[in-house]
Amino acid sequence: MELSTSGIISRTQDNYVKRTWSDPVWQIKLGIWLYFYLLIFEGALRKWFLPGLATPLLIIRDPFAFWIIITAMRYKIFPNVAYIKIVSLIGVFSVITAMGFGHGNLFVALYGARTLFLHFPMMFIMGKIFTREDVESMGRAVLWIAIPMAVIIALQFYSPQSAWINRGIGGNAEGGGFSGSGEFFRPPGTFSFTTGLVQFYSMVSVFVLYFFIRSERLPKILLIGSAGALIVAIPMSISRSLLFNTIIELMMMVMAVSTKSKHVSKIFTLFGIGILAIAILSQTEFFQVSTGAFTDRFETANEAEGGLENVFVDRFLGGMLKALSESTQHSFFGLGIGMGSNVGAQLLLGNSNVFLISEEEWGRIIGEMGPIMGLILIFVRISFASNMAVKSFKFMRKENFLPWMLLGVSFLIFLQGQWAQPTSVGFSTIMGGMMLAGFNEKTDN
């Protein structure tokens, strides 16, 4: 399936130059920015400021996605993309089969299908009207947020779970941290769960390294501050995934600039600065404690899971192969879309802490939709991720490094990111939209 994004914003730029409320492009961009900020701070609302509304706030971004889609359709700027048509049809059939052959709960079915109807199309709308300059602006916002976010997770890391800063969803006084290492818990930052923090700082690593290459587009003080926040956040997150994602981004950067002689010196500069920063921080007790907790978690988890090689096989390849091998064991129409989500489990059983189908994404998809529709959706995600990889590589060769750098973190999210989880699907939407927009020629009028 061909991804066509170049030149697609020219008509809207020619017709709608003024940034006013009467400009539908400006309206949609504003809606996307609100979606982005709600993704970052939704957990803060659910934990600290509006705990009594924790349940409805879980889907607070859905009305914005719906409004963006309706506005795009109204002004005839909704993207005509085969991926959207296929995924929407899958969503319609999945709701029908869930009611006729599956769990039979309409609310569960609609909750499960909302990802296909709302968030997936929004990614292409963002890719259509955002320019590369818009993506860089959002990247700057990510880096500004990274600095106070590091302060928040430091407070969470060193505070007891009973502290206000560690309150859980709905103001739960037992704390929102997740088991980490010894007496230390994995902090969630402003997110509902630590997964959101890992995805956020993975995005930070993308833009820290991208703007290191394109340093003329970012104030140096912001680049230094956000890079320091990332270095501090890695051990305090007690997350191997964040470390791995950062290493992948470093490799993507090296690949991007290694064939461009004018950028090669930046590689050595970056590694020199990084080593110096770590050497200085390692002399502080603050950094030593967090690094010790991270190292302990790393070693303990690797021993339990059989080493790094087995972690990769089991978490990524193993989950995929297991889902495919067991696809014929599921009923033809599946158990019903939405049933594999935590919300589905809560509505059907009254317990959100169980996985009724599968914890792995591909297993959940096939279990909910059945082998035919499930495999079609998986194929769409594989096709989309593959097309993004190929196109990003071509643009990287032309020194447009932005999509390539975004690909490093996004590829596995597109393949098997957990779309049943609201924060995860939010990052998938934003990262996918950023990549598509990164292919567009600069800039706004």
150 lies in the same domain as 124: no
Q: How much is the CA Rg of the chain, to the nearest whole Å?
A: 22
CA distance 114 to 98: 14
Q: Is the pLDDT of residue 304 over 70?
A: no
pLDDT tens digits, 9-64: 444 444 434 566 788 999 999 999 999 999 999 999 999 999 999 999 999 999 99
Mean per-residue pLDDT, 378-383: 95
Q: Are 177 and 188 in contact (CB under 8 A)?
A: yes
Q: What is the 3-state secondary structure (H, E, C) of 51-74?
A: HHHHHHHCCCCHHHHHHHHHHHHH
Whether residue 390 is contained in a domain is answered as no
Neighbours of 154 (CB within 10 A): 18
Same domain? 123 vs 153: no
Residues 117 and 175 occupy one common structural domain: no
Same domain, 270 and 149: yes
Answer whether residue 352 is part of any domain. yes
Helix axes 132-158, 24-44, angle to 10 degrees: 10
Gap between the Cα atoms of 328 and 371, Å rounded: 6
Between 357 and 326, name the one with better pLDDT: 357
Using the 8-state DSSP alphabet, how is residue 397 labeled? H
If asked whether residues 301 and 342 sit together in one domain, one would say no
Written as six digits, the tokens of 32 are 């996307």
Same domain, 115 and 166: no
Contact 208, 201 (CB under 8 A): no
The answer to the question of residue 311 being in a domain is no
Residue 222, C-beta contacts closer than 8 angstroms, at least 6 positions apart: 140, 143, 144
Structural domain of residue 410, as residue ranges?
1-129+331-384+397-445
Q: What are phi and psi of 3, to 5 degrees?
A: -100, 115
Give residue 5's pLDDT: 42
Q: Are residues 211 and 299 in the same domain?
A: yes
Residues 15 and 61 in one domain: yes
Query: What tens digit of pLDDT does each residue of 140-198 get?
Result: 999 999 999 999 999 999 999 889 999 999 998 888 776 766 678 899 999 999 999 99
What is the structure's pLDDT at 274? 85
- Residue 57: CB atoms within 10 Å: 22
378 and 248, same structural domain?
Answer: no
The 10s digit of each residue's pLDDT in 69-79 is 999 999 999 99
Residue 169 counted as domain residue? yes
- Domain count for the chain: 2
- The answer as to whether 267 is a domain residue is yes
pTM of the model: 0.91
> Are the C-beta atoms of residues 148 and 158 closer than 8 Å to each other?
no
Gap between the Cα atoms of 224 and 235, Å rounded: 18
- Tell me what the pLDDT averaged over the chain comes to: 88
Whether 20 is covered by a domain: the verdict is yes
Range from 138-152, 205-219, 353-367 carrying the lowest mean pLDDT? 353-367
Lookup: tokens for 405: 């750098």
Of 65, 48, 135, 179, give the one whose Cα is nearest residue 432: 135
Residue 100 lies in a domain: yes
Do 92 and 147 sit in the same domain of this protein?
A: no
The two structure tokens encoding residue 355: 């996985």
Per-residue pLDDT at 8 exceeds 70: no
Residue 310 lies in a domain: no
Choosing from 248, 270, 305, the residue where a domain stops is 305
